[in-house]
A and B are shown apart, each in its own frame.
Chain A
Amino acid sequence: MKEISDLILPDDVRYAEDHEWARPESEKVRVGIDDYAQDQLGDIVFVELPQVGDTLEKDEVFGTVESVKAVSELYMPIGGEILAVNTALEEFPELLNSDPYDDGWMIDVIPSDPDDWDALMTKDAYIEALKGGK
């Protein structure tokens, strides 16, 4: 298990309590799970993602990740319409373990409410939240 100091937590994304990350990319926001989540889950062997075109609220379930040990739900860090899903994860779910912030991205969202973004945590706030949870 990684210590908090060993976690890879990029500065260019914001974090949700449920360990999803969100990164603004012009009109859309890219979403995935962070290093803490993939480390806790262990080997991810299956991923279920929403349909392109679905509109989901913030905190609504957008899919599941299945590790060898358990099935976990994924929650929208921001509400909006699903613009794209990373279909590579169907064949290579292990990308979530090996490269959670780039090749292991999950969905692109067109945000419906700019306030959702402001409610997400910066890296420093997220680290504090992780420390509090330990």
Chain B
Amino acid sequence: MHEEIKNTPLHDWHLSHGANMAVFGGYDMPLWYPSGAKKEHLTVLTNAGIFDTSHMAVIMVTGTDAFELLQMCFTKDLNACVGKKKAPLKPGKCVYGAYLNERGELIDDAIVSQIEHNIYMIVVNAGMGGDVTRHMIDHAGLRDVETIDLTDKIGKIDIQGPMAAGILMNVLKEPEEVFDEMFYFTFKGHFDSTSTFAGTVSLTDGTPLLLSRTGYTGEFGFEIFVNPDHLIGTWEMILAAGKKYDLIPCGLAARDSLRAGALLPLSHQDIGPWPFVNHRWLFTLPYNDDGTDFTKKFIGAEALHNIEESEHTCAFAGYDLRKVSTHDPAAYVLDAAGNEIGTVLTCVSDMAIGRYGDRIYSISSPDKPEGFNPKGLCCGFVKVKPKLLPGQIVELKDNRRKIKVMIVDDIRPDRTARRPIKEMLKT
């Protein structure tokens, strides 16, 4: 697939800071830095971590028919997707959903941000900018819309953790104004200095940013989009300001364990080219109030309606941190009678959680037991033939061990992603 391995503009920085690198999505990316993946994972819960996520792709969709094209290609109903009341998407708001093919199978998951009337920014996974752009162009027909793949043309930094806003206070121009009404899944500013929105968010040195209250860790924080020429400067400025908060750079290993504990899927691993049904992320589909139909037509909708039987994707948590290996060869799910009922999609250790009595606590749980010092729990997702219910016990089996795990509704408790910014600024 990938002819060459790509680098982000921070590649030299990662190497010179001792990162252990690996290829992900066609990019040579840091897995962890010398502080280690465990510390990185824990620091995102207690302080904050900074991630180079410039491997992710940005697509801009503009034109009078941009909305119509997105309504057809993206699973969320942009007329009814914001908040509990399902308000229409509007400038400054973003929404998480998916792109499906005609068979109702995932192409990729994405966050769509409305920049202004007729202008949308789409963020997809590493290496997927081309595929999703082509998919949209193929379906645009004669519509007045332009879809531009900005792969490698936008730098992206995630700062995640309870101290993220406190750290950014030190590097942003007029931070109080920026943080005012900056709710979960809203954004401000623009990375393009020629945009009318550039300037609403900028660094103290004038670098324009698009600052979005989103992320992939389950914890409070931001995704920052910036011109790649300013990526290294922005990264170093935030790290310097974060020093007194013990901000550390974090790699993809911590990102993976954090997101799994937060029940966030990895595209092409937990969701992928199979029917996009019977999983934990049905909120990405535009169901009506009683869940009987969709509120709009979109690519894949008909196939989803007609699917009679498909496997179920469920979350699990183990009883200690031991994992099974999910690749080469695959790991299997066994029911109580020892029958193979499916495969393991993700299996990682969330190092911030542990079982105490009959529930899971996190190091961030306000009601954690005294002296709570968890060793971590294995967790992730399985895809199985029968529908499993929370509380059911299954075994995961790879070529060297079997481990007992429980099907669960949630994994790492007391996550901070949705907490009000004002509250987080006090920590």
Contacts and interface: CB of A to CB of B under 8 A. Distances in A.
Contacts of A69: 31, 37, 253, 256, 348
18 contacts: A42-B20, A42-B31, A42-B36, A42-B37, A45-B38, A45-B321, A45-B349, A45-B376, A46-B320, A46-B322, A66-B322, A68-B37, A68-B41, A68-B348, A69-B253, A70-B325, A71-B400, A97-B36
Contacts of B391: none
Contacts of B322: 46, 66, 71
A42 B400 contact: no
Nearest to A69: B253
A71 B325 contact: yes
B31 A46 contact: no
Please tell me the size bucket of the interface on B: 20 to 34
B321 A66 contact: yes
A46 B18 CA distance: 24
Contacts of B375: 45
Interface of B: 18-21, 31-32, 36-39, 41, 253-254, 256-257, 320-325, 348-349, 351, 375-376, 398, 400-401
A39 B398 CA distance: 25
What is the interface of chain A mostly: helix, strand, loop, or mixed?
mixed
Given A68-B253, A69-B31, A71-B324, A45 B351 contact: yes
A89 B342 CA distance: 34
Contacts of B351: 45, 68
A37 B57 CA distance: 34
B102 to A, nearest CB: 36
Nearest to A97: B36
A117 to B, nearest CB: 27
B20 A39 contact: yes
Given A68-B41, A69-B253, A71-B322, 4 more contacts: A1-B19, A1-B21, A66-B349, A71-B401
A43 B36 contact: yes
Contacts of B32: 42-43, 68
Contact of A42 (B253, B256, B321): B253
Contacts of A45: 38, 321, 349, 351, 375-376
A21 B325 CA distance: 25
A64 interface: yes
A97 B37 CA distance: 12
Contacts of A43: 32, 36-39
A85 B400 CA distance: 20
Contacts of B253: 42, 68-69
A128 B390 CA distance: 53
Contacts of B20: 1, 39-40, 42
A67 B39 CA distance: 13
A73 B325 CA distance: 11
A42 B30 CA distance: 12
A39 to B, nearest CB: 7
A92 to B, nearest CB: 11
Nearest to A72: B325
B42 to A, nearest CB: 11
B38 A68 contact: yes
Contacts of B376: 45
A45 B352 CA distance: 12
Given A1-B21, A43-B36, A45-B321, A68 B349 contact: yes
Contacts of B323: 66, 70-71
